[in-house]
Each structure stands twice: as structure tokens, then as C-alpha cells.
With several copies, the nearest count.
Chain A
Amino acid sequence: MKKLINDPVDVVAESVAGFGAAHADIVRVVADPLHVVRRDAPVAGKVALVSGGGSGHEPLHAGYVGHGMLDAAVPGAVFTSPTPDRILAAMQAVDAGAGVLLIVKNYTGDVLNFETAAELAAAQGIDVRTVVTDDDVAVTDSLYTAGRRGTGGTVLVERIAGAAAERGDDLDAVASIAAAVNADARSMGVALTPCTVPHSGEPSFALAEDEMEFGIGIHGEPGRETLPMEAADRIVDRLLDVILPDLPFASGDRVLLMTDGMGGTPLAELYIAHRRASERLAEEGIEVVRSLVGDHVTALEMQGCALTVLRLDDERIELWDAPVQTASLRWRR
């Protein structure tokens, strides 16, 4: 394992410090308890959006802090949910009295730590709502598991709810838009290579040269099944075979298609996958009206890709297109 790091213990602190240095026009980094807030926080009158989770998924979440998206991001250790004190500090830093929406990916650790923070914040008089994202259709059985995981759809929730908050929607409205976007988003990913957590030094799982991990989780936890490696088009079709019937998406739907890298996939390969996914959706009569291709929710240096499909309507398109100014998603500002 070769990594561009110093002491593994300092990975998150140093990385977030570098992030703060690079994007001082957009964010402010607080070192202890560690969290990232938008430069102009708290924004008077605006509902504040706070998210967070284990590190190693960059640009998620700090890369999405800024105008039209998150007010604060709370990074945990690599692949480890942040602790409640950090989350609470972030909530306190951004609450402008209009309340805080927590966007939490559905993993036991995230849910429990954010729950604790929400209780502490509520006790201090902060108005809190929580939306738990669970767009990952790889998890088959939601009853006898921790439930579906939050993955790529989280970025779309952050963006669209963020735009609603920027527009002036109140806490309940922003929370309900976030929940509705999550409910209409479906994702699934495949890994070609594992990843290695810095302090561990061991790959998260083993894959032979002719195998892929289908339904991989973003923490490098093994997926649904190990399958023989296939051509890109076939892999994309396999992912969509699970994603599309789940909502279900139907002919006539307008959607946003997100083709996400895992951190180590060349962009050229993501576009090859995106090409087939767009083509397949067209074959099914589903119109791709917005696209997002690149590394958005990663797992360190893992190679592979994940697809997210979100059903759109006029309002969501308008919110999607509204100005956004973050380190990793930016337009019209």
C-alpha cells in the first residue's frame, strides 16, 4: 500500500486543512471539534443543511459545502462516522434560527451518532429534522438488515434540498423535499479493485484478476456477490437491471443520471459507462435530462463505478439548475 500521506493518524486533519486552504473563498475549517462550514455561515433566515460521515468518500461531504448546498460538513475518521460533539458543533455554527436539516447516510454508525447529536441540539433549542438517505438497491433485504445504504443519491439530496433552502423554504419544506428526492433515487455500484484504509494497510477485500464485486458498499465492505469480470456495457446493464425495476422507473420518466467513480477509476472509463447507461435508459423510454459524471461518492482509491438514477420533475430541475458554489459542484456563481 503506497499512499500520499504522512502519519496515518493525521490523514483526516491534514486533508481537511488542505481543503480549507484550497477553498478559503467558499469554506471555513474549524479544527476542533473538526468540521467545515460555509464561509458566510450562519446565513440569516436560511434553513441550515448539515451532513457528514466517515472520511475517504471525498469530495463527499466537505466538497459540497457552500451556496446552494450544505452549510456544514462533519468528517469522521476514515470510513468511520463522526462523533456527536463534532456534529453538534457544526449545527451550532450554522443554525441561524431557522432550524437545521441533518442529511444522514443510512449506516448504523452515522444514524446513531447523528441521532445523539440531534438530541443534544434539540436540548439546546435548535429546531432539527433528519433525513436518512437509503438509495442503494444492492441491499436486498431491508427487514433483516440495517436497511439500504445511503450512497450517490445523498449528493442529489444535498444539492436539491440545498437549493430549496437557498430559495427560502422553511425547515419542514426543505426536509420534505429532501425526503422526496431520496425516495425517488436509486443507486448501485460495482468494484473492480478493493481499497486500503490508511491505518489498516490491508485491502478491504480480495478480488481475483477476473472478478468484480457487484453491489459494493462505499466502505469497501463486500457487496452482494462476486461475479466474473465483464465488458463495461454488460456491467452497466446489470446495474440498471436492478436499479430500474426497483422504483420502478418507467417510460416517459425524466431523470438525472449520475455515473460515479469510486476514486480510482479513470474519467474516460466513467464516460464509457455513462454512454451505455444513457443509451439503455433511452431504450426504455426514460429521458436523461441532467447528467453528472465523475468522482462524487468515493471509497479511497477503489476502482469501479456506481450509477444513480433520480426521477425529476420541473421543480427539481429548477432547483438542480439554481446557482451552486461549492468546491466540487459549481455553476452560475
Chain B
Amino acid sequence: MDVDSNWATDWVRRSADAVAAHKADLAALDRAIGDGDHGENLDRGYRAALAALDGLGDDATPADALMLVATTLISNVGGAAGPLYGTAFLKASGAAQGLDELGPSDVVAILTAARDGIVLRGKAEPGDKTMVDAWTPAVEAASAAAAAGSDVRAVLEAAAGAAERGAVDTEPLVARKGRASYLGERSAGHRDPGAESTALLLRAAAEAAADAAERRGS
């Protein structure tokens, strides 16, 4: 089964919950190799997004919900993550344009557009120890799952799992982009906060899809 705008808004709500619940963890990761504000920044952004959801009309499409997340994050998060996540959701919204229901390949297109947006803005390569190291395996796993005939729920499950592994895999890396890069070798041994938050957001997407499937009884 496919997902619709309910999934998109549920994703926002679950993302807000996850970020709020892990705010302190993200702050601690960012304190270790950055400046400690990643948890607070994302939380401020998602609280604003949650509030903004009320303004979304009943006829809103998934693209509308994604666009709302994009603009809200851009004007509330700040720091590096604000424009990066903002661009991700902006591009994701573009990829969802005109669609009321999203199938497995649509979801892959959305995730790919999001990842490409981040790379376009931030110019990080895989292995630079950034959120790209969670997004890239997520996109790959999602593509593989879709190619293998999985449904949306399984595609997002694959993406979330890969992002989580990708976040863990940033630990030995030496940062080459963002604030952590100033630490050079000393950045190794710590997980990248942006990769961790990416894993949280994609897990929220998967849970929203699982719940949608459950509700529709499939």
C-alpha cells in the first residue's frame, strides 16, 4: 500500500517527538565534536513545524507538508543543520509535486532528492562524517528495497535501518566538513550528530508508514 499526506503529517509529528526525546543526546554528541546546539536547534525547528501543521488545509498534498517542513526549518533552525535539512525537504517536496499517493518509487525519489539537496548545499562527500553518511546508505537501501519489489513501509524500514547503521559508522571517521572538521584526528571516535538526527527522522518516517499500514489493516 501507498502513503498519503496523512503519512507526511504523521512523519512531522513523530519527528518532533523523536527530536524532543533525543534533544539531550544530540546536544551531547554535538558538544563532543561541535558546539552543542544541534539538539536544541532541531527541537526548536520541529516544535515550530508542529505548530505550523495546524495551518495546513485538509486538501494539502504530501508535497505541501514537506514544503511546510522545509520553510519552517529554514526560518527556525539556523546553524548548519537549518539550511541543510531545509534544502532537503525543499527538494523532497519538489520530488513529491503533484502526487496525492506516494508509492515505493516515489518515496525513493523523495529520499534521493533530499540527499541530493544536502550535497548540493553542503558539498560534503560520503566519508566526510556528516549527515550525508546517514542519507546516502538510506537512499541506497531504499532503492534496493524498491527494486526488489518492497512496499513503502518496507522501503522506509530499509532506509531507516541503513541510516542508523550509517550514523554508527561515522564514529571512526575523521570529519572533513562542518565544525567537527576543526578537530581533525580528534573527531574520530565520536558519532556525527547530524547523521544521528537523520537516523531519528528516517526512523520516524518508517514508523509513520508502519502505522499507516496498520491503520489501513494491511
| A and B touching (Cβ–Cβ under 8 A) | yes
Residues of A with Cβ closer than 8 Å to B? 33, 54, 76-85, 107-109, 112-113, 115-116, 138-141, 144-146, 149, 197, 199-200, 202, 204-205, 217, 219-223
Q: Which of B148-156, B163-171, B175-183 contacts A (4 or more CB under 8 A)?
A: B175-183
CB contacts (< 8 Å) of B121 on chain A: these are 112
CB contacts (< 8 Å) of A222 on chain B: these are 33, 182-183, 186
Is the pair B79, A109 in contact by a Cβ cutoff of 8 Å?
A: yes
B184 at the A interface (CB under 8 A): yes
Question: Can you list, as one digit per residue, whether each of B41-52 has a CB less than 8 Å from chain A (1) or not (0)?
Answer: 100100000000
Is the pair B28, A109 in contact by a Cβ cutoff of 8 Å?
A: no
Is the pair B41, A108 in contact by a Cβ cutoff of 8 Å?
A: no
B122 at the A interface (CB under 8 A): yes
CB contacts (< 8 Å) of B183 on chain A: these are 221-222
Q: What are 23 A-B contacts defined by CB distance under 8 Å?
A: A77-B44, A78-B37, A80-B41, A80-B78, A81-B79, A84-B74, A108-B122, A109-B79, A109-B80, A112-B121, A113-B83, A115-B83, A138-B182, A141-B184, A145-B175, A197-B37, A200-B31, A200-B36, A205-B31, A221-B33, A221-B179, A221-B183, A222-B182
Is the pair A204, B182 in contact by a Cβ cutoff of 8 Å?
A: no
With the chains together, A76 CA to B184 CA distance in Å?
26
CB contacts (< 8 Å) of B186 on chain A: these are 222
Is the pair B31, A204 in contact by a Cβ cutoff of 8 Å?
A: yes
CB of B80, distance to nearest CB on chain A (Å):
4
CB within 8 A of A144: which of B37, B74, B86, B181?
B181
CB contacts (< 8 Å) of B79 on chain A: these are 54, 76-77, 80-81, 109, 113
With the chains together, A83 CA to B81 CA distance in Å?
11
With the chains together, A316 CA to B37 CA distance in Å?
37
Is the pair B184, A80 in contact by a Cβ cutoff of 8 Å?
A: no
CB contacts (< 8 Å) of A144 on chain B: these are 176, 181
CB contacts (< 8 Å) of A199 on chain B: these are 40
Is the pair A107, B83 in contact by a Cβ cutoff of 8 Å?
A: no
Is the pair A217, B37 in contact by a Cβ cutoff of 8 Å?
A: no
